[in-house]
Amino acid sequence: MAAVTHTSLSPLTGLARTLVAQGLLSEQDAESIWSKAVGSGDSFVTELLKGRRFQPIQIAEFAASTFGYPLFDLNALDPESLPQGVLDSKLAQKRRMVALYKRGNKLFVGASDPTNLQALDEIKFQTGLTVEPVVVEDDKLGKLIDKVIDAADNTMAVLEAEELNLEFADAEAAAESSEAKGGIEIDDAPVVRYLQKIMLDAINIGASDIHLEPYEKFYRIRYRRDGVLYEVAQPPLAIKEKIASRIKVISKLDISEKRIPQDGRVKMVLTKNRAIDFRVSTLPTLYGEKIVMRILDPASAQLGIDALGYEPWQKEILLSAVQRPYGMVLVTGPTGSGKTVSLYTCLNILNQPGVNISTAEDPAEIQLPGVNQVNVNEKAGLTFAAALRSFLRQDPDVIMVGEIRDLETADIAIKAAQTGHMVLSTLHTNDAPGTLTRLLNMGVAPFNVASSVICITAQRLARKLCACKQPADIPQEALLRAGFREEDLDGSWQPYHAGGCDICQGSGYKGRTGIYQVMPVTEEMQRIILKNGSSMDIAVQARREGVLDLRQAGLLKVKAGITSLEEVEAVTNI
């Protein structure tokens, strides 16, 4: 008989079973309430309270004390402070739970039944976050969910009436062109306003990318801020095609073509003096087109070298190198490490009326007045090598090559550096010493490498601690393992770790700083290159000459309280 009872109660949550086990509810009543809840679509607690046998506060206090979860009074909550776009309003209504607070990758949800594991798992799957329940009274929870639903229903209506006073350069011409080709006319004001708001919000919070991703049962929008993706909204699935079409129109893409990837560009005009470029990429997926919009703010190239995070002596070495009349300066690092901003900052310094600058990029990310920028087009035959050959007939003083990918490009760039031109470029290598051997492995002659390359900068981007940072108690052994020396641990500085506040949205980090290894190529290094020395030989010589590797440069940022040890260990190798 006991086995039969257990089976009948198996669909119930832990709260229902505990009420039965403690004699507060009979098995028959629990089964009956469960059946009614399934039939009505309500939760077990909501159906239980309809019988008026218990008060909402009694169930909340019982659940909190029995299962060890915190109890929270929703009357003390300002609905405006709820995290926006984290939890779909329909899922909140279906599962009788609401997102209360998000900190880092942890989401705290208000629930009258914290033992409903099926609901918690569904929320975890949808949001990709660790879900922590907080016990609240069911009647207050229902009222709050109704407010969330109303706010979600009114979002599009509010946006329809909202005047953002924004425009897209050449958007009308692009729309007319699309219609002339038989494209779809996009005349849905709410969608237009919604997309503008998404783009404007991304600019305002300093995001670098916007991801619009369709799935089978939901559509989500994420921002990449400080190198980390955060979900910000889940608009209705029905508008995914309208959003995609609107983006294609303003980006001058073919809105009738959905089978192949497309790349485009759009300029958002904010004021007379400020416009933001977006590089747009579409990708067909199982459930529609995923769109990524890279935000290219020209202001980032105007920051100046002091804002990038170079140590004073590193800045001096780099500036001395780029201001020489000829030679090659290389910036290395993985994708997303800030190489482009570093190069543009150097170009900005060199961009004077008496200097002729030409760049070959794939594509040109930031437009610089006074610089002749060329977009590489492999299909049309305009490769990096072809652009470089053309540059040499254009009387250049400074040449910037977006990336050295092959021997042909490397050879032409090095010959340009040897014949009286300053050449700036990038390579994908882990550190500065490895860059020289990478060129040798490409097939460049050792003599050419030694005689042309004058400085190499390897870099990474690390998140900066927010003002809410907290002192960290890190054991001395851990500091030594991380790379600090005994003499560094003299008690004159304090390490910090991430805290969490509204300004940084609970992450503990706000903004990023560069970590750099700036290595001038000295005569001794040239000798090592001419003898076919390895990157290890060059690294040993660099250490002798006082060049800091990336980890050591990062530890200086830890000592200065700019970032945390965890962040430096995550972005640098040792």
Which residues fall within 8 angstroms of residue 29, CB to CB, at 6 or more apart? none
- The maximal CA–CA distance of the chain, rounded, in angstroms, is 95
Which residues fall within 8 angstroms of residue 301, CB to CB, at 6 or more apart? 341, 344, 345, 347, 348, 366, 368
Which residues fall within 8 angstroms of residue 203, CB to CB, at 6 or more apart? 268, 270, 276, 295, 297
Q: What is the pLDDT of residues 181-194, one digit of tens each?
A: 444 444 467 888 88
Q: What is the pLDDT of residues 133-170, one digit of tens each?
A: 999 998 888 888 887 776 655 544 444 444 444 556 65
Taking CA atoms, 287 is separated from 48, 125, 258, 262, in Å, by 40, 18, 11, 17
Q: Is the pTM of the predicted complex or chain greater than 0.95? A: no
Across the range 412-432, mean pLDDT stands at 91
Which residues fall within 8 angstroms of residue 462, CB to CB, at 6 or more apart? 512, 513, 514, 515, 554, 557, 563, 567, 568, 571
C-alpha of 414 from chain center:
35
pLDDT of residue 52: 76
Q: What is the pLDDT of residues 80-99, one digit of tens each?
A: 677 776 777 778 888 888 88
Of the two residues 219 and 574, the one the predictor is more confident about is 219
Mean pLDDT over the full length of the chain? 84
Q: What is the pLDDT of residues 495-506, one digit of tens each?
A: 999 988 877 878
Omega before residue 363 within 30° of 0, cis = yes
pLDDT of residue 124: 85
Neighbouring C-beta atoms of residue 380, cutoff 10 Å: 8
Computed on alpha carbons and rounded to an integer, the radius of gyration of the chain in Å comes to 30
Is residue 240 within 8 Å of residue 219, measured between CB atoms?
yes
CA distance 344 to 289: 32
Neighbouring C-beta atoms of residue 296, cutoff 10 Å: 20
SS3 302: helix
Which residues fall within 8 angstroms of residue 149, CB to CB, at 6 or more apart? 89, 92, 93
Q: What is the pLDDT of residues 107-121, one digit of tens each?
A: 889 998 888 888 888
pLDDT of residue 300: 64
Q: What is the pLDDT of residues 352-377, one digit of tens each?
A: 999 999 999 887 877 788 899 998 88
Q: Of 418, 376, 421, 368, which is closest to residue 394 (Cα–Cα)?
A: 421
Q: What is the DSSP letter of 305?
A: G
SS3 407: helix
pLDDT of residue 247: 93
pLDDT of residue 537: 93
Q: Of 67, 165, 156, 173, which is closest to residue 111 (Cα–Cα)?
A: 67
Burial of 27 per CB tally in 10 Å (0-12, 13-18, 19+): middle
Helix axes 138-161, 189-204, angle to 10 degrees: 100
Q: Does residue 422 surpass a pLDDT of 70?
A: yes
CA distance 413 to 324: 16
Q: Does residue 327 surpass a pLDDT of 90?
A: yes
Q: Of 314, 179, 171, 160, which is closest to residue 247 (Cα–Cα)?
A: 171
Write phi, then psi, for 438 (nearest 5 degrees).
-65, -45
Q: Does residue 417 surpass a pLDDT of 90?
A: yes
Q: What is the DSSP letter of 466?
A: P
Across the range 245-262, mean pLDDT stands at 91
